[in-house]
Structure 1
Amino acid sequence: MSDLLATIPDQYLLQDKAPAPRTLWDVVRASAAQYPEAAAIDDGEILTYAELIQDVEAWAADLRQHGVMRGDHIGIRMSSGQRDLYLAILATLAAGAAYVPVDADDPDERAEMVFGEAGINGIFTDEGFRKLNPSTGVDQDEPHLEDTAWIIFTSGSTGKPKGVAVTHRSAAAFVDAEAALFLQDNPLGPEDRVLAGLSVAFDASCEEMWLAWGHGACLVPAPRALVRSGMDLGPWLIRRDITVVSTVPTLAGLWPAEALDNVRLLIVGGEACSQELVNRLATSDREMWNTYGPTEATVVASAAMLQPDHPVSIGLPLNGWDLVVIDGEENPVRPGEVGELVIGGVGLARYLDAEKDAEKYAPLPSVGWERAYRTGDHVRLEEDGLYFVGRVDDQVKIGGRRIELGEVEANVAALPNVYNSAVAVNKTAAGESVLVGYVSLEDPEAGFDHRAAKERLAETMPAALVPRICVMDELPIRTSGKVDKKALPWPLPGVGIEAVGLSETEEWLAQLFVDVLGVSVEDEDADFFTLGGTSLAAATLVGRIRERFPTVAVRDLYDHPRLGSLAEIIDATAPSAQNVKKRHVKPVGAGTRLLQ
């Protein structure tokens, strides 16, 4: 052992405690053998574990008849909230192939890129399975430990998303290591019902699925529209008897505390968790955990149980994972010091891109590791756990989704008539994180078409990555020649309420639009979603509205996204003579100028 390795606290080196090797197919079959009559999936109809295994084996046999081999890559692009999505994933695993998920709502261009990079041999869609390319596998056996279980693509710093391949050995170790953490006094079992609310293209969805299938519990898919509506998911959790939830802190913070009354295990991750949220949701009847981990280290590398009035930590490693914090010389730091977090152990995945893999999983000679993943995260090392400090690079988290600005910047730079550009993450007055693309124009007289730019960006990137655009005469430049991001304007110039003749309710509501979105409101036809509103922004807005009008629902905003229409709904909940409209006369058919 390296002398420097000996300086790392023992609790951070748990590779020797890795769970016994097995595959994900072993995991689900073991649960089915122990609890054959327990519910495995409930999408409105119950599918027991015995029925699940029977259906999956039939689907896997059909894949083999189509020529699918162990080692093939199978694309998954199916609607959320239905059992067929999960049967397709499990059948792919049972056949020894790797599943490659793309969200059904993502642009076709992104799906084509992901499936092309992964070299898929076939694809599951809502219409069924279709064989695409000749098999590249080795045989038609069950999965082996070192076979790839899934390939999930993350945002790329070079403008190109990165495919990350995780083996069955790593994935099953993650499932079993988490089992050693949660609810030790009353472990998860057939009486538990686990929310499935995340996109399967997001690696945190793996935690949802296997929290259920690793313990004989029931996976309960939620309709995507309901998940996106934020607070409206709260009553659904009660109606569906959900006892286990894994989500991002932003969404958890939008639900009324009583919506979690039946939840005995709440796991948050993907973004910073506030002390206020912990104080509100961590109770004597509920375990609340904060988890941390990049896709490249198999979903979760560390975890901490959260307690009210205790500092929020990202915790200690899972059994089988090694964590070391290094300084600029790549030597381990001592407790109390800050450095970059590097991960080793059983959870290490690999990039499909061999060159990128060699770069990011390079050896760490100072502690004798032949392969280690450099996270780019700055953390403070303490005896009781790690404390997140910030990012080393331009990678950010928005709504729990990891975003590398390089991918967004590459797409913004490719827009027509853009001469120079930069992308930054800013905070609105309501605390909402938003992406903003700043551009200068090659030909200012030709102008910039905001609507066309947004449509083009939406064709190539998921909605979460599409920024609003600010056109500037020129971008501030440092002496190095790079854009000075600290000098980019925020709030954006001229942002405010430009509309005239609004009613009192419209005026109040327009200011909330400005606070949440950071854009101008020009008239009563301003549409919240056209102005850049996301599902999380919608939940934030409705939360602000409910401070004055508690009966307003997120669905009201989705049904009435225009300022004037939403104001009418609000007025109807609390009529007042003060809300009489003082509108200006607007020509029939007059349009609105969009800000993005």
Structure 2
Amino acid sequence: MSLHNVPRQFLRAAEAPAKRTLYDILASTAAENPEAAAIDDGEILTYAELMDEVHALASELHANGIRRGDRIGIRMTSGSRDLYIAILATIAAGAAYVPVDADDPEERAEMVFSEGKINGVFTDEGFRMLAPRAGGDKHRPQLADTAWIIFTSGSTGKPKGVAVSHRSAAAFVDAEAQLFLVNSPGGPLGPEDRVLAGLSVAFDASCEEMWLAWRHGACLVPAPRSLVRSGMDLGPWLIRRDITVVSTVPTLAGLWPAEALDNIRLLIVGGEACSQELVERLATEDREMWNTYGPTEATVVASATQLRPDRPVGIGLPLAGWDLLVVDEQERPVEVGQVGELVIGGVGLARYLDPEKDAEKYAPMPTVGWPRAYRSGDHVRLEEDGLYFIGRVDDQVKIGGRRIELGEVEANVAALPNVYNSAVAVQKTGANQSVLVGYVSLDDPEAGFDHQAAHERLAETMPAALVPRICVMEELPIRTSGKVDKKALPWPLPGVGVEATDLNPTETWLAELWVDVLGTSVADADADFFTLGGTSLAAATLVGRIRQQVPTVAVRDLYDHPRLGSLAEAVESIAEKSGVSLSDATPVEPREV
């Protein structure tokens, strides 16, 4: 079957932007805007100064033996110019950067750097060549060279390295430049704009932040990691730092007070479903709001749509240079109005480091004559005005905007001591937060299960976002196929509630909020919110609930007082200073199990 019946607006490979590299983009922007601010981490670095520092560091890399085509690991603390200079110097030296979050476990970093076959590594202490050698070159990157290698969650328990070429990366940057603020009354993106950098560089969405600034002569403004984690408290920071462009997940955007977005003229959301209510609230005449969609394997973003009030939320049409097909189980294009799997082609196709995985996931699609195609595993509905996301074909899920393969989590849970059978599922707390829960039965029930030791072991092998809470069961529900019946797994978890009996009224009220927000029990006043599984979004949600009673409580108060008893004292003190009474604090309705 040919592509004859596929609506033309979904086939844009022939419209790919002109060929160039990320270095070409940076050099062009710096030449046009030498005195404009490029990075502001508390001190301004102009584009001219940035290029001087990038070239100096690239020369140092070459002196250490780095050559075009090498790979350099990046494991540096977020929030400073040094991180971004290291990335750009790696690119200028013709090498690919391989990022790891500074907060990820050591074992994760070792695995990524080993699989990525890096030649050197940047840390907060500087650059270190793993195997010093003479003969580095001074070549800039070419189109086919790899710009970055980012590791995504793997279905077999082993993360997958995805390599993106300069041709694909630059095409993504230039294609997005055709979308945002092109007809804005305030003019296109430019040197007057300031772009929030709040995402970990270990996730490809950070590439959108960086190059929204550096493609247009705008200023990248890194936010401290602690502030990004605090959710709502990032809102006032956006105002103080004069941020005008934000790319984030819908959940976080929904937590910021309306006034925090007053100066934002471009708001891009992605990574998880965006509600119609959020669009109604945040898409205004003075602010463009866009929804983006794309897997790492297709270079950050494959499709986008401008969100408008009173219009359904979709994932839009392909970027210039990308092809999007919706196919049935026989890989034949479906008709308009039908649902099928989304398949991606065009200039954005990346590659897996693992040749076997690459051949499998990017296999040819003979039904339409494509020599290489990425099967996304996402079910979408094809409509004339764009695509509408329906759900996942497999076990990939989104937690906090991050795409996670349950298989990776399940493999690590299954490897825990004394586990006989296990499964991992995504559940929703009373605060509508998605959480991972590992259900296990034991090989020797009398030996018991050490929850603390299990948590520590999982935290050593996986990023924090992947570590599930554990529920021990006598046996897991099994379907006739022999597989675990995930729909029959208990939630809320049995026995979840406030177990402590010696709490004062404020502690009791807060403990009930914790149970609802976290979906886990609170044993005593020494319970720690983050040890119990609290995330930045959960923290923001909890403080939002507390503020209904004590409006001046801030997220940082929870981070400063993560233990229940300490938080209760802090809340009582804040309430007293604010003249607020806690005597009528609304109790949380008990959760039925």
| TM-score, length-scaled by structure 1 | 0.95
- Cα offset for 1:566? 1.4
Partner residue, 1:68: 66
The within-5 A match list for 1:438-587 is 438-575=439-576
> Displacement of 1:504 after TM fit?
2.7
* AA matched with 1:235: P
Residue matched to 1:255: 256
Residues 41 and 218, structure 1, Cα contact 8 Å, conserved in 2 = yes
Distance in 1, matches of 2:390 and 2:134, equals 44
SS of the residue corresponding to residue 237 of structure 1 reads helix
Q: In structure 1, what is the Cα distance between the partners aligned to 2:318 and 2:121?
A: 36
Specify the code of the residue in structure 1 equivalent to 2:23.
W
Question: Is the CA contact (8 Å cut-off) linking 2:64 and 2:134 kept in structure 1?
Answer: no
| AA at the equivalent of 1:402 | R
Q: Distance in 2 between matches of 1:292 and 1:135?
A: 42
SS at match of 1:169: helix
Specify the alignment match of 2:146 in structure 1. 148
2:17 aligns to what?
Answer: 19
**Mapping of residues 12-411 of structure 1, within 5 Å:** 12-133=10-131, 140-185=138-183, 186-411=187-412
Aligned partners of 1:224, 1:331: CA distance in 2, in Å? 45
Q: Does structure 2 conserve the Cα–Cα contact (< 8 Å) formed by 1:432 and 1:537?
A: yes
In structure 1, distance between residues paired with 2:92 and 2:397: 35
In structure 2, C-alpha distance between the alignment counterparts of 1:338 and 1:438, rounded to whole Å: 32
Aligned partners of 1:478 and 1:484 also within 8 Å:
yes
Task: Give the C-alpha shift of residue 506 in structure 1.
Answer: 2.1
Deviation of the 1:567 alpha carbon: 1.7
1-side partners of 2:292 and 2:493: how far apart? 35
Tell me if structure 1 keeps the 8 A contact 2:64–2:136.
no
In the aligned structure 1, how far is the partner of 2:338 from the partner of 2:548?
42
- Write the letter of the residue equivalent to 2:58: A
Paired with 1:573 and 1:68, the residues of 2 have a C-alpha distance of: 55
Q: Which whole-Å deviations, capped at 9, do the CAs of 1:336-370 have from their partners, x for residues lacking one?
A: 10000000000000000000001110111111111
- Counterpart residue identity of residue 7, structure 1: N
- Give the residue type in structure 2 aligned to 1:425: V
Structure-2 change in CA distance of 1:517 and 1:217 (3 Å) = same
Distance 1:512 1:580, change over 3 A: closer
Give how far 1:498 is off. Answer: 1.8
Gaps of 5+ in 2: 586-593
Gaps of 5+ in 1: 582-596
2-side partners of 1:273 and 1:545: how far apart? 25
State the SS of the aligned residue for 2:53: helix
Tell me whether 375-384 or 136-145 shows the greater mean CA deviation: 136-145
- Secondary structure in structure 1 of the residue aligned to 2:255: coil
1:264·1:286 contact (CA, 8 Å) conserved in 2?
yes
Give the letter for the 1:438 counterpart.
Y
Cα distance between partner residues in 2 of 1:93 and 1:114: 19
Question: Contact 2:317 / 2:387 at 8 angstroms: preserved in 1?
Answer: yes
Aligned to 1:6: 4
Deviating more after overlay: 391-400 vs 508-517: 508-517
Rounded to whole Å, the distance in 2 between the matches of 1:578 and 1:25 is 58
Once the two structures are TM-superposed, the CA of residue 223 in structure 1 deviates from its matched residue by 0.5
Cα displacement (A) at 1:479: 1.8
* Letter in structure 1 aligned against 2:222: P
The amino acid of 1:262's aligned partner reads N
Inter-partner Cα distance in structure 2 for 1:106 and 1:209: 21
User: What letter corresponds to residue 183 of structure 1 in structure 2?
Assistant: L
Q: Separation in 2 of the partners of 1:48 and 1:562?
A: 44
Q: What's the secondary structure of 2:151's corresponding residue? A: strand
Distance in 2 (CA, whole Å) between partners of 1:16 and 1:225 is 43
Distance in structure 2 (CA, Å) of the matches to 1:135 and 1:480: 56
Q: In the TM superposition, what is the alpha-carbon distance from 1:56 to its structure 2 partner?
A: 0.5
Shift of 1:444: 0.9
Change (3 A) 1:580 1:316: closer
- Name the SS of the counterpart of 1:435 in structure 2: strand
1:207, 1:329 → 2: CA distance?
34
Is the contact made by 2:65 and 2:135 (CA closer than 8 Å) also made in structure 1? no
Deviation at 1:577, TM superposition (A): 7.7
Q: CA deviation at 1:134?
A: 6.3
State the 1:309 CA deviation: 1.9
Counterpart of 2:397, as a letter, is: V
Distance 1:569 1:141 in 2: 58
**Offset at 1:521?**
1.4
**Alignment length (residue pairs):** 579
Secondary structure, aligned partner of 2:158: coil
Indicate how the Cα distance of structure 1 residues 457 and 428 shifts in structure 2: closer, same or farther if over 3 A, else same. same
Q: Do the aligned partners of residues 506 and 34 (structure 1) sit closer, same or farther apart at CA in structure 2, a change above 3 Å counting? A: same
Q: What secondary structure does 2:568 align onto?
A: helix
Report the Cα distance in structure 1 between the residues aligned to 2:544 and 2:13, rounded to whole angstroms: 44
Tell whether the 8 Å contact from 1:71 to 1:137 is kept in structure 2 after alignment.
Answer: no
TM-score (norm 2): 0.96
Return the offset for 1:208.
0.3
State the shift of 1:194 in Å: 0.3
Paired residue secondary structure (1:195): strand
Q: Percent identity?
A: 80
SS in structure 2 at match of 1:375? strand
* In structure 2, distance between residues paired with 1:160 and 1:420: 20
Displacement, 1:572? 2.2
Q: CA deviation at 1:397?
A: 0.5
Q: CA 1:23–1:377 in 2, change beyond 3 Å: closer, same or farther?
A: same
State the one-letter code of the partner of 1:123: V
Q: Is the contact made by 1:71 and 1:138 (CA closer than 8 Å) also made in structure 2?
A: no
Say whether the 8 Å CA contact 2:66–2:136 is kept in structure 1: no
| Aligned 8 A contact 2:150 2:161 in 1 | yes
* 1:413-464 CA distance string (max 9 Å, x none): 1111111111000001110100000111111111111101100100000000
Q: Is the 8 A contact 1:571 1:579 kept in 2?
A: no
